[in-house]
Every structure is written in C-alpha cells, then in structure tokens.
Amino acid sequence: LAEIKQLGLLSVMQKLKGSTELELRIVLLGLDNAGKTTLLKCLASEDVNTITPTQVSKYTQNQPLIFHLVYVIDSADKKRFEETGLELSELIDEENLAGVPILIFANKQDLCTASPASEIAEGLNLHTYRDRVWQIQACSAVTGEGVQDGMNWICNNLLKKK
C-alpha cells in the first residue's frame, strides 16, 4: 500500500428517496495523477451542502467506518495499468478491507487515448473478485460525466443493505 497515494476520507450525508438519511464513508484511493483531487472537486461542486471532504494525511489500517472503497484509474495512462493493477490487488488482499464494496472509476474518459472501462476491467481481472461487490464506472472528473452514476451505485448498495 505504500505507493498508493491516500487522498481523502469523504463523509457524505445523502438524502435518498426523499426520506432516508444515511451516512456514507468512502475511502478514495488511486495512483498519483489518477484524478482523485479532481474527482473530489467534481463531487463537491455538485452538492456542496451534502459532501464534506476531509483530507487525511495518512492511511490508517484500522479505520472503523469504511463502508466503501473508491479506486481511481487514469484510463489514458496505459504505461501504468500494470502498476495500478498491482496496487489494487494489494488493496483487495488487505485483511482489514475484506468484503468492502469497491467502485472503480475508469477516469479521464474525455481523452481520446482513454481505454474503455470494459478493457480495463478485463486487464484488472475484476471478474475474479468474489468476496465483495464491485463496479467499474467510466467517468471524467473534468466533465463530470459518469461521476454521479458511480455515486448512485454506492447509494443503491446502501439501500440494499438496509
């Protein structure tokens, strides 16, 4: 995990379907330059009132309230696909994160050099993840496209658990 840049812990108060209020904790991870900060800004600009990003300086393995992981990938940086895949698999093998649902953002889809999310999913062997629910979502943190779809997936997971 040492090389994973830890970005932020997001405490999100989401009002779902008008009546339910849920607190959602997200740990946002990814290699440097993947687009984590841009994604946070994108989320914050969409709903400043309900999202409170907190920058934390260090990843602590015993975070008590991790409900979801979000892993960001630069879809246009093919040279680092192997590296990011290794980091992701280490994360998946973390004992403390066993079973934690994971959303993978295939970010920077606005670039014409970006690989499609389906190709990235294959390269990362996502289909072999059997201990948790996972989702890969194509997005652009710059245009905002796909970001809300990813967040909706997380919200739907929470609703299912209730």
Binding-site residues from annotation for GTP: 30-37, 107-110
Minimum CB–partner distance for residue 25 and ligand GTP (Å): 19
Q: Which of residues 1-30 bind ligand GTP (CB under 6 A)?
A: 5, 30
Query: Nearest CA to 83 among 124, 46, 121, 111?
Result: 124
Q: Which of residues 122-161 bind ligand GTP (CB under 6 A)?
A: 140-142
Which one among 16, 97, 111, 133 touches ligand GTP, defined by CB under 6 A?
111
Minimum CB–partner distance for residue 141 and ligand GTP (Å): 4
Beta carbons of 51 and 10 less than 8 angstroms apart: yes
Report the interface residues with Mg ion, using CB under 5 A. Answer: 36-37
For 84, what's the count of Cα atoms within 13 Å in the CB-facing half-sphere?
Answer: 26
- With CB under 6 A as the contact rule, which of the stretches 44-52, 62-70, 104-112, 128-136 interacts with ligand GTP? 104-112
Q: Which residue is nearest to ligand GTP (CB)?
A: 35
Query: Nearest CA to 104 among 29, 43, 158, 24?
Result: 29
Beta carbons of 44 and 53 less than 8 angstroms apart: yes
Cα–Cα distance between 129 and 135 in angstroms, integer?
11
SS3 140: coil
Q: Which residues bind ligand GTP (CB under 6 A)?
A: 5, 30, 32-38, 107-108, 110-111, 140-142
